[in-house]
Amino acid sequence: MKNYVFISALGKEINDYLQLRKSQGFSENVNYVLQRLDQYLACAGADEKILTSDVIDGFIAQIRTKVRPNTISTYVTMCSGLGKYLNHIGIPAFVAEHFPNPKDYIPYVFSEEEIVEIFRIADNLPMERGCVAAFQIPMLLRILYGCGLRLGEALTLKLSNIDFNKGVICVLNGKGKKDRLVPMDKSLASILDQYCKSVLLVADPEQHIFPGNSAVGTHGESWARYWFIRILKEVGLYTEIDHSISGRGICLHCLRHTFAVNSYRSQYFSGIDNYRTAPIISVYLGHERLTSTEQYLHFCEENYQDILSITEQYAGVFPEVPDEE
């Protein structure tokens, strides 16, 4: 856990709660929420060991118009957990009410033309950004698009996780602490094999697939998530795409959504029944529930063209409707 310094009247209890979460295996990525709550309490002059609804409402209200709905949900979840913990140890606390994530969020699904353009830009990155990065970014994008991996899953891959003969990636400790096997297309397996032989220099099973510049050929750490995100923004990877279409903004996770949509379409045109397709994609993506996968199967321009091409064969079946006089 980062070396947060808690200064409010509830500082000790907040720190103890975060330590408890850590011992239970929860991610520390959202600990910043309670660090900010601690600062809010201190600035508000709250000197009693109590957490009221007014404090929580004021804390949430100050960020409500500045962050995305999913982030607000994270704030509410963390405050709710702290409230339950405080009540458990005998400190009066308001338990923030959970609310579902918005259902109207529509992630961006890249068209075939946009995918081609993304890879064109990635494949022509200037070498001054670093020889390693110039090869890593195109490879990372191909894995995200070709396998539908989450960014964190791709960045933690090691050579030992890849079976080049079978063309299978073993994702260890993915979301929900689950492992799964992810088959690759032969073309992607071949590209990944060439990349590993050219960039990693050594065939050490513990070598990260995407090591930092100083970690090539060692057991060093892979690149951090923010590094790839920053580089992709700098190279203008999405500059030609209308960002207003997606409320959350275009990001690397959209490649995962694009994979799911394309996989669904591909299986449909291969003759696989839709009722069988969704469960297959769900297992492939590592979802616990089918409802999670349904959020990835979006109606996009390609689906619209599919419907038009299919309904053309029924021309003449539907009666014509006369124009208004």
Q: In the structure, what pLDDT confidence band is assigned to residue 226 with cuts at 50, 70 and 90?
A: low
- Residue 13: is its pLDDT beyond 90? yes
Most confident of 64-73, 174-183, 240-249, 302-311: 174-183
Within a domain: 96: no
Residue 132: what pLDDT?
64
Indicate if 209 and 321 belong to the same structural domain. Answer: yes
Indicate if 59 and 147 belong to the same structural domain. Answer: no
Mean pLDDT over 129-156 rounds to 82
Indicate whether this model's pTM tops 0.75: no
Residue 111: what pLDDT?
81
Mean pLDDT of the chain: 76
Indicate if 261 and 137 belong to the same structural domain. Answer: yes
Residue 37: what pLDDT?
92
Indicate if 83 and 143 belong to the same structural domain. Answer: no
Among the candidates 88, 111, 138, a domain finishes at 88
- List pLDDT tens digits, range 206-222: 888 888 654 444 445 56
Tell me which residue range forms the domain holding 27.
11-88
Q: Tell me the DSSP string of 194-258.
A: HHHHHHS-S--TT-BSSB-GGGTTSSPPBPPHHHHHHHHHHTTTTTTS-GGGSTT---THHHHHH
Is the model more confident about 177 or about 84? Answer: 84
Residue 311: what pLDDT?
46
3 state SS for 156-172: CCEHHHEECCCCEEEEC
Residue 294: what pLDDT?
63
